[in-house]
Amino acid sequence: MDHWMTDQQSTADHWWWRPGWSTGRRFLTWHLTFDHALQVHRLAEAYRQRLATVPGLDLIPNQWLHLTMQGLGFVDEVAQDDVEAIVAIARAQLALVPAFDVTIDRPAFTPEAIRWEAAPREPVEAVRDAIRTAIGTVWAEVPEQRDGFGPHISIAYSNAALPAGPVLAAIAAEPSEPASARIASAELILLERDNQMYEWETVASLPLA
């Protein structure tokens, strides 16, 4: 069975209000972003075109493509001094992690999102571990679990519960050429989701070695 197949038969609304989220609330988190990743933009556009006629999907434009890494906390619950200390330590930690390339190919179906699995995962995990080390130096407990992390980049979010057939058919078409992106930094961002899209302001961009 191809990796894009699934026994799930329907999509699900991604935009339900997860714990802590509400209109206007902002979240500090670490992402890898793809502003200048032209190959990723090319592949994303190919799949946006394939998915454009599928109902119930919010297609992600190039500027909001991201690889979710590590949450920090809601901005109203995190002290600015702590943010600055974590950023300073993370800067030193990430300066020891070599820059690397990730590759994406055909996206996979999940009920709430259509997404690429980024490969190889090991250097992405090294970035995340460096960030978690920085957080753990300042805080007694690091948010989120280390285990269970799966580096992925979404191309669309589902906004309704609908049959999955049209989505599966769109991503089952002959795949486009794979895309690679150079990862040379990690971004601490201020994230919001008021417009059925993850949008953000960059707080800090920390270079890799």
pLDDT bucket at 175, cuts 50 / 70 / 90: confident
pLDDT bucket at 65, cuts 50 / 70 / 90: very high
pLDDT bucket at 4, cuts 50 / 70 / 90: very low
- Token pair belonging to 107: 């996206």
Residue 149 has pLDDT above 50, yes or no: yes
Query: What pTM was computed for the model?
Result: 0.93
Residue 63 lies in a domain: yes
- Structural domain of 77: 27-207
Residue 176 has pLDDT above 90, yes or no: no
The arithmetic mean of pLDDT across residues 79-98, rounded, is 98
For the chain, the average pLDDT equals 94
Domain count for the chain: 1
Which domain CATH number covers 160? 3.90.1140.10
Give pLDDT, residue 173.
Answer: 83
The arithmetic mean of pLDDT across residues 101-109, rounded, is 96
